Structure 1
């Protein structure tokens, strides 16, 4: 889902901690997904196959003289909007705007953090080698430093974007380097599909009755993907999405959330433990900013978490709000007056909205080593990540993968460390 749609959605069931009086921000970390992108090459082929199969279904229905009066006109002769594209997955203009605007708002929100003259060691921008991620980093930087340079009428400035090799990027592409995670994901995908099957079978049967076409489960899968792409990329909600009832949309969203929760979210600990290098990097950057080591108490061990409840029950884990295109997490370090109870305060924001975060939650996870989590065969393991952006006054990072919804994993890295322990 596009960032503009979910940015205004703020969870109202909790009240975040207030920033103590007199505290001023001295350091910022931001982790975000790449902006809105076009469908990947694999998904473009899937939509082409859907168009071909729809032609077959319509021809069969006509040969059987079935009444198709309830069938929407757009389905007859429909072709994928991305038909003929040889490549996909690139950042589109909408995605550029999303990250550019986040950059502008970030500087406007924390102006004092960006008063220093630009230097790559002070404002370090890092991106994975995925093109849409590095393009998002550039768009973000253009917004962040707009008016700060001398290039062109917009007074832009040049800035560095650094990338690690895909094969060794354990901070931003840890899922690619984590063999145990890959094995876990492969082993769990069939079970996840089994959990989703009853919903897809139910909706497929309903579509058959409603439109008198012999839809398959794959058709339903592709139509649901088309609905999401039309809504987020083309602002079209009266075609594929209109084929489904509101209750069917809710159920399909739940299947997406269920899959992301198990394979990418904090449903399994490997999903966030493999992100320990990123967590260490964030923590160390804050420690360097305050030039002091902090000691955190150990907290109770994790307990297994239930799957997201099925509609109509309410649930907190919603993939479209956790990790939309451009979705982001910020950790803002504040320096507080000497007469306050704590010298420093950390504020956490998700999609630019303050959220609560329990204290003393990091140390128990830093005891895990990336190599032991990812390279040693353990009995239970898990997940896969994201296209992300991490910024900080001393660290800006943008990462990306070819996986749809990849930001779920990074959100789990920063949020999953405390879920189940408080």
Structure 2
């Protein structure tokens, strides 16, 4: 009997501890009413705070002023360029279009309910009363929109201007290799980019365009640009981790739901807030409308909503677990191998036009984010030592704390990484890799935080640490699904609950 009582006490103590820790987590995550609010003046531009729905032009010139890029030494010339780019701004997917139609119906029901309760409607913004989805009646979605075409077209023009000796000679498909995924918005982005890159170089139409080739791989076998489609260990990890991510986001959405319900007198639910946040991102990014759905939230709330998106990208696509980025190893190897071929051609003094000068790739956020992580970008302090050991990092700090990991910087629409190989005959190391993200030099932690890294050092410190396993070894399902710190914690905190939310597996 005494043993039974003792076990019951231990069980009750464990449950009490679980609830205590849960309460502490919620207190830490929910924005305090007494915390400092972000300025609501014109300096806060919501179009720069839309996580991975941010347009390239809104953030491309926002740089870390604390980092001083290296000056490219005299006598160094670019001999090869690698580009890994995300597609441009796109329309919402079919699933999201349906969600917006449901939101329109829900808003009308919320207004009707407020009228039935004889509440004042003065605080409800005028647009809410008559709002219908801009995509109402659409049955297809996800395509590259005009703004997205312009992003990639302009990017092609800028890159050609930056590297004229690489990109100004006559086009040949073996000299300028263009690859894209089979998803139409990615291949359309490749076309828009190449139209800009080769504009004025052909004889087609008033723009003197020329034809070019874009190669694609089947989704089922595209290990370079859609490795996330075929990596089973990653898919298992993501499925296992998504409920924990949603649990971590819930306190933020619950607090904002309460605040907006009180502010406007409408019975908002967490789902309403989620849909309104999505609408805010679409309106601001695609339509340049910032005074409707985005106007419902104050800057502090918008920053917290942005953080929830950044958190999800960190855990499910980024540094949350090593499988997220290690599955991108085939792409990193392809980049390095292209540089080795360029070095061989340069050493043999092959004539221009007889070897590849640029390898241009167009894919998705699920491609760009892991590739950025393989390079070790967007790390703070000693984090690089942790990822070399394939350890998960601490989660991005919640606003108002500052953070390096921002979806708007890591993978906005048309976000890109460029690795430019330079020949420096007069230096001890004859070849260097210049690393740029969104067209700006960025520090490479594996190369003493320099953006201009000797090629041998790049191979040794960036590529080699990931080479102990190949793609098959990384992506073959083991007996135990890899877990991050987040899922390990929530695994026992919420073991008594089972209310998984629907997952949106549509790639970005």
TM-score interval (norm. to shorter): 0.7 to 0.9
1:308 aligns with 2:379: no
Indicate the residue corresponding to 1:411 in structure 2. none
**Of residues 138, 148, 161 in structure 2, which corresponds to 1:85?**
138
Q: Which shows bigger deviation, 162-171 or 366-375? A: 366-375
**Of residues 435, 439, 449 in structure 2, which corresponds to 1:348?**
435
Shift of 1:119: 1.3
List per-residue Cα deviations over 1:83-117 (Å, max 9, x = no partner): 11010011011000000000000100000002432
Shift of 1:14: 1.8
Indicate the residue corresponding to 1:409 in structure 2. none
Once residues 210 and 220 of structure 1 are traced to their aligned partners in structure 2, the CA distance between those partners, rounded to angstroms, is 13
Once residues 320 and 378 of structure 1 are traced to their aligned partners in structure 2, the CA distance between those partners, rounded to angstroms, is 36
1:371 aligns with 2:472: yes
Contact 2:233 2:481 in 1 (8 A): no
* Structure 1: unaligned runs, 5 residues or longer: 293-298, 384-401, 407-422
Indicate the residue corresponding to 2:331 in structure 1. 278
Once residues 376 and 143 of structure 1 are traced to their aligned partners in structure 2, the CA distance between those partners, rounded to angstroms, is 43
Shift of 1:381: 3.5
Indicate the residue corresponding to 1:319 in structure 2. 407
Higher relative contact order (CA 8 A, sep 6+): 1
1:159 is paired with a residue of what secondary structure? coil
* Larger Rg over CA atoms: 2
1:178 aligns with 2:231: yes
Once residues 369 and 382 of structure 1 are traced to their aligned partners in structure 2, the CA distance between those partners, rounded to angstroms, is 20
Once residues 253 and 376 of structure 1 are traced to their aligned partners in structure 2, the CA distance between those partners, rounded to angstroms, is 33
Once residues 252 and 405 of structure 1 are traced to their aligned partners in structure 2, the CA distance between those partners, rounded to angstroms, is 20
1:246 aligns with 2:299: yes
List per-residue Cα deviations over 1:197-226 (Å, max 9, x = no partner): 000000000011000000000000000011
Shift of 1:22: 1.2
Contact 1:269 1:382 in 2 (8 A): no
CA-based RMSD of the aligned residues comes to 1.6
1:39 aligns with 2:92: yes
TM-score by length of 1: 0.88
Contact 2:321 2:391 in 1 (8 A): no
Indicate the residue corresponding to 2:312 in structure 1. 259
Indicate the residue corresponding to 1:395 in structure 2. none
Once residues 37 and 140 of structure 1 are traced to their aligned partners in structure 2, the CA distance between those partners, rounded to angstroms, is 15
Once residues 323 and 443 of structure 2 are traced to their aligned partners in structure 1, the CA distance between those partners, rounded to angstroms, is 23
Contact 1:16 1:355 in 2 (8 A): yes
Equivalent residues in 2 for 1:7-406, closer than 5 Å: 7-291=60-344, 301-337=389-425, 339-357=426-444, 358-359=446-447, 360-377=461-478, 379-381=480-482, 406=508
Shift of 1:263: 0.2
Contact 1:263 1:382 in 2 (8 A): no
Once residues 155 and 366 of structure 1 are traced to their aligned partners in structure 2, the CA distance between those partners, rounded to angstroms, is 45
Change in CA separation of 1:282 and 1:368 when aligned onto 2, cut-off 3 Å: same
Change in CA separation of 1:288 and 1:382 when aligned onto 2, cut-off 3 Å: farther
List per-residue Cα deviations over 1:33-89 (Å, max 9, x = no partner): 000111110111111111111111111111110111111000002111111101001
Once residues 366 and 380 of structure 1 are traced to their aligned partners in structure 2, the CA distance between those partners, rounded to angstroms, is 21
Once residues 326 and 115 of structure 1 are traced to their aligned partners in structure 2, the CA distance between those partners, rounded to angstroms, is 22
Shift of 1:8: 1.4
2:422 is paired with a residue of what secondary structure? strand
Shift of 1:404: 6.5
List per-residue Cα deviations over 1:272-310 (Å, max 9, x = no partner): 100011011001000111129xxxxxx852433100000
Indicate the residue corresponding to 2:450 in structure 1. none
Contact 1:35 1:326 in 2 (8 A): yes
Once residues 194 and 249 of structure 2 are traced to their aligned partners in structure 1, the CA distance between those partners, rounded to angstroms, is 40
Change in CA separation of 1:378 and 1:331 when aligned onto 2, cut-off 3 Å: farther
Quick check: which one's helix share is greater? 2
Contact 1:3 1:98 in 2 (8 A): yes
Aligned residues: 381
